[in-house]
């Protein structure tokens, strides 16, 4: 018996109706795949893909379902042939997660008429290194080939580090942050007002680290005294690749925190 159950009443939940055609994609990719809604509830969506899912689409992977009302972010619970059972974790109209962390953040006000740089992602250390090294052609010295490969890898790491350092990500102040898919909260030392536009550079502590340049609007300010201000920033002018990078990090961070709590509960018991 398949693991899914059809919704007999055929009603609409999450903006879906059984039989609707939607598109999905891996969070880290742009290529979309056509699928049919088999069933939907407040927490779960079951799709039948038009083609066999890629091997990367497995339990724990993050998929984005595109609808006329916006994007729905989900986590794969099970795959059975072309049938995907997905757990809804976040939608554009409502936040489903916020995570606390500490990482480098650089934030500065920008004038309303100031030309803004395009939001972008900076590669982390070793982000572009190949997972496997191709074997040399016959006649090549294997030891020399390995030495040259190692040198190339180290140069790549150095260049990527210099890129992050040039952007100010590496030496930015470490801040306690509360991060979500739509905004971030932290303490800064520069006075700001509601509605101020800011440019931010975040160094997400992934493996490898990833730098993010994005913009936002101050939507909350609380004077803490001693020249400290707790601010809430709503992300703005964010490209899909930048948003996906932040969402992917926040989801992974949330999963790590939940796992750590479960481990601690087990040890306490």
Stated pTM of the model: 0.59
Per-residue model confidence (pLDDT) at position 262? 76
Per-residue model confidence (pLDDT) at position 13? 42
Q: CA 212, CA 189: separation in Å to the nearest integer?
A: 21
Token output for 68: 């006329």
Instruction: Name the nearest CA neighbour of 40 among 80, 78, 82, 88.
Output: 88
The answer to whether domain 99-268 has CATH 1.10.10.60 is: no
| Average pLDDT by stretches of 10, the chain with 269 residues | 36 63 84 90 89 91 77 88 89 60 90 81 53 55 74 62 60 86 89 90 83 88 91 85 85 80 70
Query: Are 156 and 148 a contacting pair, CB within 8 Å?
Result: no
Name the residue with tokens 């509601």.
194
Instruction: Name the nearest CA neighbour of 235 among 214, 253, 250.
Output: 214
Strand 183-188 with 99-110, pairing: unpaired
The answer to whether domain 21-91 has CATH 2.40.10 is: yes
Domain boundaries, the chain: 21-91, 99-268
Per-residue model confidence (pLDDT) at position 41? 84
Per-residue model confidence (pLDDT) at position 28? 72
Token output for 194: 């509601």
Q: CA 216, CA 219: separation in Å to the nearest integer?
A: 9
């Amino acid at each position: 018996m398949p693991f899914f159950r059809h919704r007999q009443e055929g009603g609409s939940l999450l903006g879906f109706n059984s039989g609707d055609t939607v598109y999905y994609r891996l969070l880290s990719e742009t290529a979309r795949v056509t699928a049919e809604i088999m069933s939907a509830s407040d927490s779960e969506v079951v799709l039948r893909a038009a083609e066999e899912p890629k091997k990367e689409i497995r339990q724990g992977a993050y998929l984005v379902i595109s609808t006329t009302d916006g994007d729905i972010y989900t986590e794969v619970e099970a795959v059975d042939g072309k049938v995907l059972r997905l757990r809804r974790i976040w939608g554009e109209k409502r936040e489903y997660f916020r995570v606390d962390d500490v990482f480098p953040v650089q934030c500065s006000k920008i004038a309303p008429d100031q030309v803004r740089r395009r939001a972008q992602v900076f590669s982390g250390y070793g982000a572009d290194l190949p997972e496997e090294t191709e074997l040399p052609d016959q006649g090549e010295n294997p030891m020399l080939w390995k030495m040259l490969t190692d040198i190339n890898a180290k140069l790549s790491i150095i260049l990527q580090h210099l890129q992050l350092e040039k952007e100010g990500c590496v030496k930015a102040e470490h801040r306690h942050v509360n991060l979500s898919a739509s905004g971030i909260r932290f303490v800064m030392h520069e006075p700001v007002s509601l509605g101020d536009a800011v440019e931010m550079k975040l160094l997400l502590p992934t493996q490898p680290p990833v730098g993010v340049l994005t913009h936002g609007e101050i939507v909350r300010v609380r004077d803490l005294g001693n020249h400290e201000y707790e601010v809430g920033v709503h992300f703005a002018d964010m490209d899909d690749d930048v948003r996906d990078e932040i969402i992917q990090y926040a989801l992974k961070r949330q999963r790590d925190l939940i796992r750590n709590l479960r481990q601690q509960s087990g040890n306490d018991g």
